[in-house]
């Protein structure tokens, strides 16, 4: 037994952790998540903790750099291009880009590629338009969904929290991906950063913390590899 609960409104992946990403017409889901998502990350070389990543927490301007795969259909082997805030497009391995990030961070940085994806917790993040609208209503202003770096935004009248613990299937064909919905996603200072200007608005995080238990969206993990397409019907499945 299945029931349709919404439609896929937007798909995003982020080739480089903490950089802006790319919108996709179709995403391939394998056992580690969306193919190519968070495949690369910059690291703070002197940081020996379990979280050595260089992120927008240290360098907010990272979020103004847009990373894309030169060959979007083959992210495992594709080069990555980065559009800098001034509109220049450079390779991800460009030494001037690395030098700029080191200067902004005030410390030595390196670059890692990990095929399984470099996630804080789980590989897929999902929100519904209803949940986002609730956050905007509580905040008293519109909020660009890009602040939250979600993989899947689903057009639905239901809050995404209704689907915790359930399985969602996308599309109706034999190649339909299925995910297992899990826990709400804790939020940090990254949501305060405007994705176009880099300006910080601390009130955004205060709204999330006060009204929504400091969470936005729900994590998910792959339950069956397959494809997700923009516009796909979203079904709850047994």
pLDDT beneath 50, residues of the chain: none
Among 108, 67, 58, smallest CA distance to 91 is for 67
DSSP-derived secondary structure for 148-199 = G--SEEEE-SS-GGGGTT-EEEESSSTTB-EEEEEEEEE--GGGGB-TTT--
Output the CATH code of domain 2-237.
Answer: 2.40.33.20
Classify strands 26-30 and 33-34 as parallel, antiparallel or unpaired.
Answer: antiparallel
Supply the pLDDT for residue 1. 59
Domain ranges of the chain: 2-237
Contact between 65 and 82 under an 8 Å Cβ cutoff? The reply is yes
DSSP annotation of 95? H
Supply the pLDDT for residue 204. 98
DSSP annotation of 137? H
Q: What share of the chain is helix, strand, coil (3-state, %, to 5)?
A: 20, 35, 40
Supply the pLDDT for residue 21. 96
Among 166, 142, 145, smallest CA distance to 6 is for 166
Bridge partners, 212 (sequence order): none
Supply the pLDDT for residue 43. 97
What are the tokens at 56?
């927008």
Supply the pLDDT for residue 115. 82
Alpha-carbon Rg for the chain, nearest whole angstrom, is 18
Q: d(Cα 212, Cα 54) in Å, to the nearest integer?
A: 27
The residue length of the chain stands at 238
pLDDT (tens digit per residue) in 96-141: 999 999 999 999 999 999 988 999 999 999 999 999 999 999 999 9
């Amino acid at each position: 037994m299945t029931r349709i609960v919404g439609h896929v409104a937007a798909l995003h992946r982020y080739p480089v952790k903490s950089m802006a990403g790319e919108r996709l017409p179709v995403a391939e889901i394998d056992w580690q998540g969306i193919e190519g998502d968070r495949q690369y990350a910059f690291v703070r070389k002197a940081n020996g903790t379990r979280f050595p990543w260089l992120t927008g927490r240290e360098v907010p301007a990272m979020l103004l750099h847009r990373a894309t795969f030169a060959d979007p259909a083959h992210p495992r082997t594709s080069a990555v291009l980065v559009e800098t805030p001034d509109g220049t497009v450079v390779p991800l391995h460009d030494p001037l880009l690395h030098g700029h990030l080191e200067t902004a961070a005030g410390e030595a940085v390196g670059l890692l590629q990990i095929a399984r994806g470099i996630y804080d917790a789980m590989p897929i993040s999902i929100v519904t338009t209803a949940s986002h609208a609730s956050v905007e209503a509580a905040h008293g202003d519109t909020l660009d969904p890009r602040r939250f770096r979600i993989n899947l935004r689903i057009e639905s009248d239901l809050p995404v929290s209704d689907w915790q613990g359930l399985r969602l299937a996308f599309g109706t064909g034999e190649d339909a991906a299925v995910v297992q919905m899990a826990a709400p996603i804790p939020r940090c200072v990254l949501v305060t950063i405007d994705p176009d200007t880099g300006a910080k608005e601390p009130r955004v995080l205060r709204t999330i913390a006060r009204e929504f238990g400091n969470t936005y969206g729900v994590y998910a993990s792959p339950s069956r590899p397959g494809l997700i397409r923009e516009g796909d019907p979203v079904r709850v499945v047994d």
